[in-house]
Structure 1
């Protein structure tokens, strides 16, 4: 068996893995990366994101050294987002199950670490099309605490990462699927991987697992999250099958975080080829739902579409759809609402879309129960508090007092044509991973580290449970990836 050698081995090549590799290379170490995907599909789940990265800042002026210039800046209001805001959002959406130490590390380091990447060649921008609505006077107000993202989204993120890696001399082996960890005298000394039907080994002083969660394994999802999760659609990379997590646990590693939940969005149920699609990537998500209503096969609503800003609800509403009959639902809008939907998501060629001149016709097209749909919309329309003015940039308090309540952004579904978009559950990543310490060393059940083994990104559990604040996954990948790489190098 041929054996490669390196100072630091990184398993995976997504955002977190890349940050670990950059950090180790900064310390002068030789770095080898193993990527299970072919070169044209490399980048893990990071490739499938919109590139949105939740970071702390003090407003637009404090961001101008980070983001690309844009003529709209002079007409934009970007509220500050503090470490306290960040921590509060994490605590709120996870119901207090987030690890306090990891939270403090993330919120205190993310701003500086993004500038570290910027200095290496990463390109960032303000996310106008996703995080701000243009106001009547032509100005923009950013909302939800998530304001910055990569130029060209996840594709741009990974393109920049690979360019940085190539320039610094980091070696990447593609189509290299790590199958087992190598242990000598209680320490991890590398891995065995498969490529082109052959087995190879890597011997390294330190091994960093940036190999993701187990969301692409239907069997592991059913085992750890519940049988219904077998039927979820894998919206991201098909290569995150949990192999390295199982290998680490077999060596005595402790689990970290919530193994029963994951990031799951409303995903286009009508698009042919809607699983792990490398061409349309993130654009099959359906995230304008706070403007309209969501109904199941019976035509009944089952969530508060306006409970909070989309950033703080979208990652848990995929699960709510999964639990509906047939694991399917429909987002419903009328003519005045339709122009406000994100073009990048709702106008993809081949998108699942139904357009009808009446609710009866819409029900016939979709298979939604006609009586249920008509009754639901009539009750919803009657219950709207029209004394509050609709404003999608703020939590406007325009409530629909029906069951379930819609807390904000309630607009009557009353003007044809009507639009229905079928959605199912698209799982992005699992929240359960390995338990780590302040140096991202993988810990045993007794709390001591496994020598030579580190974890970052989705392989490192502890920050998220049931839900997460949008953009915090990429942020955590940057912060804990850099920590893992630095510590592995030392």
Structure 2
């Protein structure tokens, strides 16, 4: 049997380790943190997977679980095709995403969700993504619909727990508190890793240790000095070690190292520690109100489309504002929904008038009142605005029903977009496009798919699809080496 080392026990690494084991390899899974740190960024996610399907039968073949109020006698689910998936990813990357990786992600997505379900991951129909029951029929918008089971919006650890159990059951050897230090090569081929206090021999190595969002130095170098002290939403352990080791071993770079996933978050919430802890809760209700900076001015289109396809760039927009902070403002049209679905444990500031609200949050009252009055005049019946910059493209309704509420928001960095260059089967590629023998990579350690933004659910799907592919390819290609 070939010996495979996988670095990183997040969703990507667990998928790679299980897949390599299924392909007949001995697998050692190295995790920089303790067992309480298992899961990487996926543990702090909302558990959403974006995958292709032809209709309701594909969805109900995965799960029969419905959140309260969603079960109905009939399901209407327009197909979410491979072409639609690819078009969405390409559009949100401004055409820069690697079309070969995009096509592979779309093509393998449904089968991979079924593979996860077979390993014990539970899924449910989720109402916060737009599903609604009308006249006994569950209407599902194309795309985002199934999340992992669990409470609230931070459900990702419910993905990790069954995969960890399955990995242990099939014989994956897990090594906790064992960081990857370097990749070892002899005669141009990977032969093992330096990890912890010693060398671990291997016929192939899979880098699945995430991006560099937790490295202050790399954030400053690639994202800019203003990101040095940003609040983390993702794991504190992703400091780029695996990526840099892969580059030293001959892999090339891919993607944009100067961009990232960054949502609006409650600044009072602590950064995540152990995997079972919730991360700073993303304030996803921005689309139901307006976002203003501390000068009382709007600065972004809060409704360019469904929130799940835009939340990951709101943090970057806030980072460009004075003091790198903002406020989400709502009235009684939407305040209850925001508190129930999109604010977690965040506590808003409330006031009977906009003037008093401004005083309580430290924003100049005249500016805030003027901004909201201008916004209200610009709202049109169809939910858009006219005559204001920036526009609000969808879900624009006047804020005129007091009392008013405000949530303080800052940027929360989840993960970075640049990384190792790979092909669709997880082979690490040199800068000339040739595979680095014995080296594989997947997930947030890689680049080439996400650039300025990406649709929600595509990150977990990428982790599972390419983690699974990298593990399988590493095992099958290592067999001739042993033979």
TM-score with structure 2 setting the length: 0.93
Aligned to 2:425, the other structure's residue is in SS state: coil
User: Could you say which residue in structure 2 is the equivalent of 1:103?
Assistant: 102
Partner of 1:166, secondary structure, is helix
Contact kept in structure 1, 2:284 and 2:343, CA below 8 Å: no
Question: Structure 2 vs 1, CA of residues 354 and 416 (structure 1 numbering), >3 Å: closer, same or farther?
Answer: same
Using the TM superposition, give the Cα deviation of residue 467 of structure 1 relative to its aligned residue in structure 2, in angstroms: 0.5
1:69 to 65, 69, 73: 65
Tell me the CA shift for residue 92 of structure 1. Answer: 1.3
8 A contact 1:125–1:151 mirrored in 2: yes
138 and 318 in structure 1: CA distance in 2 versus 1, 3 angstrom threshold:
farther
Residues 1:251 and 1:69: Cα distance change in structure 2 (over 3 Å):
closer
Aligned partner (choices 393, 412, 433) of residue 447 of structure 1: 433
Tell me the CA shift for residue 335 of structure 1. 1.3
Classify 1:309/1:114 alpha carbon distance in 2 versus 1 (closer, same or farther; 3 Å): same
Distance 1:344 1:88, change over 3 A: same
CA deviation after TM superposition for structure 1 residue 75, in Å: 5.7
Contact 2:16 2:469 in 1 (8 A): yes
Q: Alpha-carbon deviation of 1:176?
A: 1.3
- Specify the SS of the correspondent of 1:413: coil
Secondary structure of the residue aligned to 1:281 is coil
Mapped partners of 1:280, 1:269: distance in 2: 16
Match of 1:36 among 32, 35, 57: 32
Contact 2:4 2:25 in 1 (8 A): yes
* Residues paired across the two proteins, number: 469
Q: Does 1:151 align with 2:149?
A: yes
Contact residue 420 and residue 428 of structure 2 kept, 8 A: yes
Shift of 1:259: 0.9
User: CA–CA distance in 2 between the matches of 1:464 and 1:342?
Assistant: 30
Equivalence for 2:285: 288
Structure 2, gaps ≥5 residues long: 477-483
Residues 214, 429 of structure 1: 8 Å contact kept: yes
> Residue 184 of structure 2 is aligned with which of 174, 177, 182?
182
| Alignment RMSD | 1.9
Does the Cα contact within 8 Å between 1:270 and 1:353 map onto a contact in 2? no
1:60 CA drift (Å): 2.0
Structure 1 residue 478 and structure 2 residue 451: aligned? Answer: no
Given that 2:289 and 2:330 are in contact with CA atoms closer than 8 Å, whether structure 1 keeps it comes out as yes
- Which of residues 356, 365, 373 in structure 2 aligns to 1:370? 365
Who is 1:385 aligned against? 380
1:332 alignment partner, one of 298, 316, 329? 329
The 8 Å contact of residues 351 and 404 in structure 2, kept in 1 or not, is answered as yes
The 3 A distance-change label for structure 1 pair 275 and 113 is closer
Alignment partner of 1:419 is 2:414: no
1:423-474 deviation line (CA, Å, top 9, x unaligned): 1111111110100123311111222221111000011211010101110011
Name the counterpart of 2:123: 124
* Partner SS for 1:122: coil
Stretch of structure 1 that moved more, 69-78 or 113-122: 69-78
Contact in 1 for aligned 2:280/2:412 (Cα 8 Å): no
Per-residue CA shift, 1:360-400, capped at 9, x if unaligned?
111111112211111100000011112x2xxxxxxxx4335
Counterpart CA distance in 1 for 2:340 and 2:82 is: 32
What are the equivalent positions in structure 2 for 1:221-236 lying under 5 Å apart?
Answer: 221-236=219-234
1:391: which partner in 2? none
Is residue 10–residue 209 contact of structure 1 (8 Å, CA) maintained in 2? Answer: yes
Selected match of 1:404 from 379, 382, 390: 390
Q: By how many angstroms is 1:347 displaced?
A: 4.1
Q: Partner residue of 1:242?
A: 240
How big is the shift at 1:301?
A: 0.5
Alpha-carbon distance between aligned partners in 1 of 2:408 and 2:135, rounded to the nearest angstrom: 34
Give the direction of change, closer, same or farther, for the CA distance of 1:291–1:401 in structure 2 (3 Å limit).
farther
1:336 counterpart SS class: coil
Find the counterpart in structure 2 of residue 394 from structure 1.
Answer: none
**Structure 2 matches for 1:241-320, cutoff 5 A?**
241-271=239-269, 273-274=270-271, 276=273, 278=275, 280-282=277-279, 284-320=281-317
Whether the aligned pair in 2 keeps the contact of 1:236 and 1:281 (CA below 8 Å) is no
1:192 to 172, 191, 194: 194
Q: Structure 1 83/461 Cα, relative in aligned 2: closer, same or farther at 3 Å?
A: same
Pair 1:467-2:462 in alignment: no
Of stretches 211-220 and 440-449 in structure 1, the one that deviates more from structure 2 is 440-449
Structure-2 change in CA distance of 1:277 and 1:365 (3 Å): farther
Matched, 1:48 2:44: yes
1:32 partner SS: strand
In structure 2, do the counterparts of structure 1 residues 65 and 136 end up closer, same or farther at CA, with 3 Å as the change threshold? closer
Match of 1:209 in 2: 207
Q: Which residue of 2 aligns with 1:17?
A: 13
Matching residue of 1:354: 349
C-alpha displacement of 1:140: 4.7
Unpaired segments of 5 or more residues in structure 1?
A: 389-396
Distance, in Å, in 2 between the alignment partners of 1:410 and 1:419 is 17
Aligned equivalents of 1:314, 1:226: Cα separation in 2? 21
* 1:381–1:431 CA distance, 2 compared to 1 (3 A): same
